[in-house]
Amino acid sequence: MRNKVLQQLPQERIKNFFEVALGYSQEQAEEEAKRCLQCKDPFCIKGCPVEIDIPIFIRLIQEGKRREALEKIKEKNNLPAVCGRVCPQEDQCEAVCVLHKKKIPINIGALERYAADYELVHSPQSTVHRENKPSTVDRGLSTKIAVVGSGPAGLTCAADLAKMGYQVTLFESLHLPGGVLVYGIPEFRLPKQIVHNEVEYIKGLGVELKTDTLIGNTYTIGDLFEKGFKAIFIGVGAGLPQFLGIPGENLDRVYSANEFLTRVNLMKAYKFPEYATPINIGKKVVVIGGGNVAFDCARVALRLGREVTLVYRRTENEMPARKEEVQNAKDEGLPFKVLTQPIKIIGDEKGFVKGLECLKMELGDPDESGRRRPIPIKASNFILDVDTVIVAIGQNPNPLLPKVMPNLKTREDGTIVVNENFMTSLPGIFAGGDIISGADTVISAMGAGKKAAVAIDSYIKNKVKV
């Protein structure tokens, strides 16, 4: 049997923003670690985009060597407490675990979180590696690298370059670093103190952080080269909201998921009046979408005490959200209205939302994504009685940098084109994360940041005289 992770009870947790999953106790973690078969040729490592040596760190946990386990993880992953919480392990390392055949893979995510949390709780000021941090001054290396965007891609690239001995400056447009980890994913899935601690570790490696700095506006990429940066990594993510293009989207109390989550997480609307930045939503909220973002919005609205419905045009089987999060939402009592396509947002005489007109759908043949295509059922219109609409149907790449860099090659969807070394069409300018792939996952953004750091190192050594 796989050891279950303790959780806050649903009836309690929908009244607060504290973390839902409580993690393993030492006993549970060691028991779970004992289930690992310690394969000679482990598939799990290949399933991890940053190739953590999973069997070894699990063996160390089993032996009670928590610090050593974390050291092993940190050789490859600079954000273990984050990844242990939000990575879709079920599609990656756990999906290829040999025990998956028996439908009970090792709970690798929970073990990673256990190792990371132990260190944070027991010696929050130290954290593994900080004592061994490379000092750029001591080692006489002065090559400056700029990293733009402090999401998982930028943080990883910056940390790895700092470990190699570069002088790294991380530029972030918002007032806090972390990207989606701070403005998107809610507190109850990823406490902001965890992100803060991981960022502090990266700063401890020697990375200089400059927040409130919008590259492409405050400074151009040209300015950065003039300031002496020899290479630049762009990790600006996919934060441009998509809308449905239906009538009524300009009404009051229609939010993009991005705006809604940013107001609640980053601006701390859920702590009003302690924070003087409330959010203006009504009593009956509908969230449109079936991905992680839609579920985050719906579960936030539930915790704000609203009546919430999630509307999705396919069925639960086709929902792209993590299964664990779908189950958590169900346990919290979130109703789903599946096979439902919104076609019009209805407003009142003052310009506020007063309803959502929808069509019922049925599933046809699979489309290019492999999921069965939703087809409208004629004359099946009905109106949902709601006063707030949150649109969570996807995000596009942030358009500012491509717009102000006309020679930067991009695709039609706005993603930046890179070669196999993560270099863009402009020499010395690299990119990775959601800005090259479109909206994806934390760990794939980290994988790109890692590979780009290696490529930048090689570029500097081969092309630039230090």
Site residues, ligand FAD (CB under 6 A): 86-88, 148-154, 171-174, 179-180, 184-185, 214-216, 235-237, 239, 261, 292-293, 296, 398, 400-401, 433-435, 439-443, 445
Nearest-approach distance from CB 392 to ligand FAD, in angstroms: 8
Using CA atoms, how far apart are residues 163 and 51, in angstroms rounded to an integer?
18
Between 52 and 361, CB nearer to ligand FAD: 52
Can you say whether the dihedral through the CA atoms of 412, 415, 419, 424 is positive or negative? positive
Between 435 and 455, CB nearer to ligand FAD: 435
Beta bridge partners of 327: none
Check: CB of residue 112 under 8 Å from CB of residue 70.
no
Between 143 and 150, CB nearer to ligand FAD: 150
Check: CB of residue 253 under 8 Å from CB of residue 387.
yes
Nearest-approach distance from CB 338 to ligand FAD, in angstroms: 20
Nearest-approach distance from CB 36 to ligand FAD, in angstroms: 23
Q: Helix or strand or coil: residue 13? A: helix
Between 398 and 424, CB nearer to ligand FAD: 398
Nearest-approach distance from CB 86 to ligand FAD, in angstroms: 4
Beta bridge partners of 131: none
Q: What is the number of other CB atoms lying within 10 angstroms of the CB of residue 297?
A: 28
Q: What are phi and psi of 147, to 5 degrees?
A: -120, 125
CA distances to 119, 141, 260, 304 from 271, rounded to whole Å, are: 29, 45, 14, 10
DSSP state at residue 66:
H
Nearest-approach distance from CB 456 to ligand FAD, in angstroms: 16
Nearest-approach distance from CB 454 to ligand FAD, in angstroms: 17
Between 30 and 117, CB nearer to ligand FAD: 117
Between 345 and 446, CB nearer to ligand FAD: 446
Between 65 and 268, CB nearer to ligand FAD: 268
Nearest-approach distance from CB 39 to ligand FAD, in angstroms: 25
Gyration radius (Cα) of the chain, Å: 23
Between 108 and 153, CB nearer to ligand FAD: 153
Using CA atoms, how far apart are residues 113 and 86, in angstroms rounded to an integer?
10
Between 33 and 221, CB nearer to ligand FAD: 221
Nearest-approach distance from CB 138 to ligand FAD, in angstroms: 30
Pairing of strands 388-391, 284-288: parallel
Place of tokens 């598939």: 43
Pairing of strands 353-366, 340-347: antiparallel
- Render 137-164 in DSSP notation, one character per residue: TTTT---EEEEE--SHHHHHHHHHHHHH
Between 105 and 248, CB nearer to ligand FAD: 105
Nearest-approach distance from CB 237 to ligand FAD, in angstroms: 2
Q: State the Cα torsion 412-414-417-423 to the nearest 10°.
A: 160
Q: Helix or strand or coil: residue 420? A: coil
CA distances to 14, 222, 394, 402 from 412, rounded to whole Å, are: 41, 24, 16, 12
Contacts for 51 with CB less than 8 Å, ≥ 6 apart: 45, 76
Nearest-approach distance from CB 461 to ligand FAD, in angstroms: 25
Nearest-approach distance from CB 5 to ligand FAD, in angstroms: 15
Q: What is the number of other CB atoms lying within 10 angstroms of the CB of residue 167?
A: 20
Pairing of strands 229-234, 144-148: parallel
Between 152 and 355, CB nearer to ligand FAD: 152
